[in-house]
Structure 1
Amino acid sequence: MTANQHNSNTYTFQSPFGKILAFRENGILKAKNIRYAYSERFKKPIAVEPSDSEIIFPEKTPVCPQNISPLLEKMIGKTNLDGFEVDESPQYISIFRPQNFTENEKLSVIVWIHGGSYEIGCGDLSTADPTDWVKEQNIIIVTVSYRLGIFGFLGGTEKRPANLGLFDLIEALKWIKNNIAAFGGDPKNITLFGQSSGGDAIAHLMISDGTQGLFKRVIIHSAPLGLRKNRQKMAAEFLNNTKMFEDTSDVLEIIENYKNFVPSFFKYGLKAAMPFGTQYGFPPLCYENEVEEKWKQIAKNIDVLIGLNDEETSFYLKASETLSKYIPKKILNKAIRVTTEIIYGKPAKDFAENYAEAGGNVFLFRIHPRLKAMNHFLGAHAIDLPFIFGNESAWKNAGILKNIPWKYIEENGKKLRKLWTEFAINGSISDTSERPEILEVSKV
């Protein structure tokens, strides 16, 4: 591994992929927005070929075309759109590495796969900036962007294949495996970490064709595994409703109009809350009835840390002013408990128990902030992210953190990052390791 100093603020990494420029910021080196693949609309990704010339990143962060979510802006904070560039081929990764580094040291690698219902987000959001984690724990974190929504997770015909976003992620993982040693990372110790649909994607990457040997461990936060079954009819209807969108259609027209064709909640129940997703029976996935067996088959090869927040669905239910206004608190709280268990809790527990039964090394966790002064957004979906990533300035206006002192997040977050790093390094969490007060975790 060699890193040549350009000037005091930049480095060049010599990798098999080419010479990659990185910036030095806040005690870390960040090589941002490296294109790992490119794609045409509704086509599989093609890996980018190595280059002799220096690879310089785009000025603005590329992001898949998407609609801004008012709920997300209320709960997590406004996105400053000036720093982003809409790109239908958003296959980029960013690499964060400690600045101080011993030659030949091999650091554990964590690959962050963002959530957002397979519909919104990107790898490089300030709310998931891993700088604090990288500095504290001396690891490498790679963030990944991939196709979303209609462009990545709705298909089923020759013209519009399913699971294109999964294919993007597989290309990213191949790139990381082949190149991360040049950044001081250990290609034999890669952990995938994802939240929400990012966690769901990871559960499916574990059993996707072509991922064998690309990673060793997974950390799955708040994956909506309770919504993964019996989606075929809904996906087929949604695909049929949007068949007028072709590879020549205007991208803005697609983004503005696809919402009019989302399958009905009354017809498909809770599943319709997440209309995009991975699709069974299409490459790189098996048929739905084979999934559990596939997870059992790989159980001895991949370590798993899986879990959820205490009241996940309060993110959606209590944030709705209409529901809060007209439904008594007691009934709303019961609805939150029931839906949290259906979508997140029971599926995570079942997954962990089946995996352990098949000989897998698996830990199950639950995060529940217990601050007495906290308001009713207790344990909501995404409450884990500020604890994991820190970065106070990005989270200061988040609705889910209302009344939670940052000191409480920082103290618990440091301990949580340390534990998750311990798992990423050696696949276990010792009984003697200090636990943050917000966490329950145990080996299954």
Structure 2
Amino acid sequence: MSVFETTCGQVRGSDPDRGVVAVLGIPYAEPPFGADRFRAPRPRKPWEGIRDCAAFGPVPPQSAQLPGAPSWSPGDEDVLSLNVWTPAADGAAPGGAGRPVLVWIHGGAYTFGSGAQPDFDGAALARAGLVVVTLNYRLGFEGFGHVPANGADSCPPNRGLLDQIAALTWVRENIAAFGGDPGNVTAAGQSSGATAVACLMVMDSARGLFRRAIAHSAVGPCYSPELAGHLMEKVAAEAGVPATAAALAAASPETLVKASDAVVDGYRQDPYSGRHHWDPVIYGPVADGVQLPADPVSLITAGAAPGIDLLVCHATQEYWLLDAVGSCAKVTTEEQLNRFAADFGIPDSVTRGYRGLMPEAPVGDVHLALYGDLMFGEYSSRLADAHARAGGRTFLSRFARQRGGPQPVAYAWHCADIPFAFGNLDEESIRFLIGGAPTAADHHLSDRMAAAWAGFAATGGPGWEPLAATGGPVRAWETTDTTRAPAPGHWSDSGTVRALWRSFGYRPLRP
């Protein structure tokens, strides 16, 4: 087995598998509980001897049980760990130093998920020449819940982002031992993980920790401190504790997970509870004016991410997945569609425009198209636009691969692009996402997407031309992909639909 030297001690990975060594569950910070609960992460203390790292570490507190991934067990505390996949040399040790590094930040509505999910296995990308890192960070209330100030003793917001910064700091200090180049790091993520990457791009405390960023299906906008405080009060009430730092710290992680789930369910059951009825996500990055001064799109527009290359992608039918798994409220009437638009402040002209682009579609499909672009498509595209206009080297792509005919068994929906980019199409747990066993055309698409990630991480070029300040080519990922300007008349991939959103602004959400 391969042994690697880190700043905290030696770690032992697995035997090479098809030319790749996996080193799993490496702690990058102290357990964030006890006196350290709700605090910024602290550096890990050194250990004696060789630490066996052949299994994933415990996942952070959450109620989700994801296929093929470990679930949280109350009492697990050593949850801040990361995993490394590195090409082996002669089947036994990492090869020549200086390989590009990709650090993956998982999504999951800032509430669930981990770096141990099987679709995030880094072996295929390692065989493509990268050193791949996935990580766990604090989720839900532990990572993003507002904790009131207790005199001079306060707990920082955005603790999950601070964990990610601590992991990137570990990478800078240790990744050379695994064959990686600490000066050539790409931070990558999907969904809430993509928005986390966008936040890291503009945070002073993350400056210099990575030179490139990949954001798939970034979701926005961020929360205001007022909304974070309002949601904290609802969670505290559900948990039966006072809304104070001391009382929240005394509540068990399990209690706060259950209380958070109850608040979410309350929003789901109340059709007149505003935005959170349609999108019952109650945690996220907070634009606190200090660590994160504003929503990242506005900061990137102002040039706050100089020198960082950016690769953006979103799926063309994002919200069809959320509908398929029952994670969003059904819309079956025009009245519901109008109430949805009003709750999000979407101008009537946008809603009318979508109806015009989809004249034969049922109202539910109009809602899903509108919602997917609101939350993911338009926000991601604006992220790319903002960076390009500020002078940043920026690439934009859209995942459009479907499976089936007029009623596909798998749409080009949320999360489906990630196993293609990671090269993990044969993983059983993702069969639902891609509509069954992969075809030869699917494998060819996966090879191209993984090569784009590897090329971008290595050189800043994924294989097509960057955007200019006035626009540019968009790569469409399909089983026969093309690089083209958006095609008129196709609502999820057109300049026409983007024009509908010009009057809509993203600002930090308020109560």
Q: Report the TM-score when normalising by structure 2.
A: 0.75
2:435 matches 1:402: yes
Distance change in 2, residues 1:302/1:443 (3 Å) = farther
Cα deviation per residue 1:223-273 (whole Å; 9 max; x = unaligned)? 112x33x64443221111233262222332322232223474644416843
2:404 matches 1:415: no
Partner of 2:28: 36
CA distance in 2 between partners of 1:98 and 1:58 (Å):
16
- Across the aligned residues of Structure 1 and Structure 2, the Cα RMSD in angstroms comes to 3.1
Higher alpha-carbon Rg: 2
Aligned partner letter, 1:115: G
2:53 matches 1:57: yes
Partner of 1:426: 459
Distance change in 2, residues 1:329/1:443 (3 Å) = closer
Partner of 1:279: 286
Which of residues 478, 483, 500 in structure 2 aligns to 1:437?
478
Which of residues 303, 308, 312 in structure 2 aligns to 1:302?
308
SS of residue in 1 equivalent to 2:248: coil
Which of residues 362, 371, 393 in structure 2 aligns to 1:361?
393
Query: Do 1:89 and 1:147's aligned partners in 2 also have CA atoms closer than 8 Å?
Result: no
CA distance in 2 between partners of 1:56 and 1:443 (Å):
50
Cα deviation per residue 1:186-216 (whole Å; 9 max; x = unaligned)? 1110001101111010000111121111000
SS of residue in 2 equivalent to 1:168: helix
Distance change in 2, residues 1:60/1:113 (3 Å) = closer
CA distance in 2 between partners of 1:171 and 1:109 (Å):
16
Which of residues 368, 372, 384 in structure 2 aligns to 1:352?
384
Deviation at 1:363, TM superposition (A): 0.6
2:419 matches 1:386: yes
Partner of 1:5: none
Partner of 2:408: 375
SS of residue in 2 equivalent to 1:220: strand
Partner of 1:252: 254
Distance change in 2, residues 1:430/1:254 (3 Å) = closer
**Larger strand proportion, structure 1 or 2?**
1
Q: Structure 1 stretch 174-183 or stretch 292-301: which is displaced more?
A: 292-301
Aligned partner letter, 1:417: A
Alignment of 1:3-402 (within 5 A): 10-26=1-17, 27-38=19-30, 39-40=32-33, 41-51=37-47, 53-57=49-53, 59=55, 61-68=57-64, 78-79=67-68, 81=70, 87-100=76-89, 104-135=96-127, 137-158=128-149, 160-225=155-220, 227-228=221-222, 231-243=224-236, 244=241, 246-262=248-264, 264=267, 266-269=272-275, 272-281=279-288, 283-288=290-295, 292-293=298-299, 296-320=302-326, 330-373=362-405, 375-392=408-425, 394-396=427-429, 398-402=431-435
CA distance in 2 between partners of 1:121 and 1:42 (Å):
19
Query: Do 2:85 and 2:131's aligned partners in 1 also have CA atoms closer than 8 Å?
Result: yes
**Pairs aligned (count):** 423
CA distance in 2 between partners of 1:332 and 1:418 (Å):
36
CA distance in 1 between partners of 2:71 and 2:326 (Å):
28
Partner of 1:7: none
Distance change in 2, residues 1:116/1:80 (3 Å) = closer
Deviation at 1:96, TM superposition (A): 0.2
Q: Report the TM-score when normalising by structure 1.
A: 0.85
Query: Do 2:235 and 2:259's aligned partners in 1 also have CA atoms closer than 8 Å?
Result: no
CA distance in 2 between partners of 1:272 and 1:415 (Å):
33
Deviation at 1:393, TM superposition (A): 5.0
SS of residue in 2 equivalent to 1:239: helix
Deviation at 1:331, TM superposition (A): 1.6
Q: Structure 1 stretch 97-106 or stretch 31-40: which is displaced more?
A: 97-106
CA distance in 1 between partners of 2:176 and 2:74 (Å):
29
Query: Do 2:214 and 2:311's aligned partners in 1 also have CA atoms closer than 8 Å?
Result: yes
Runs (5+) with no aligned partner, structure 1: 1-9
Query: Do 2:137 and 2:163's aligned partners in 1 also have CA atoms closer than 8 Å?
Result: yes
Query: Do 1:371 and 1:404's aligned partners in 2 also have CA atoms closer than 8 Å?
Result: no
Distance change in 2, residues 1:276/1:363 (3 Å) = same
Distance change in 2, residues 1:291/1:364 (3 Å) = closer
Deviation at 1:321, TM superposition (A): 10
Query: Do 2:313 and 2:396's aligned partners in 1 also have CA atoms closer than 8 Å?
Result: yes
Partner of 2:345: none
Q: Structure 1 stretch 393-402 or stretch 194-203: which is displaced more?
A: 393-402
Deviation at 1:281, TM superposition (A): 1.3
CA distance in 2 between partners of 1:435 and 1:24 (Å):
38
Distance change in 2, residues 1:323/1:212 (3 Å) = closer
CA distance in 2 between partners of 1:97 and 1:308 (Å):
28
CA distance in 1 between partners of 2:318 and 2:386 (Å):
23
SS of residue in 2 equivalent to 1:105: coil
Runs (5+) with no aligned partner, structure 2: 242-246, 334-359, 466-474, 487-511
CA distance in 1 between partners of 2:425 and 2:146 (Å):
39
CA distance in 1 between partners of 2:435 and 2:478 (Å):
19
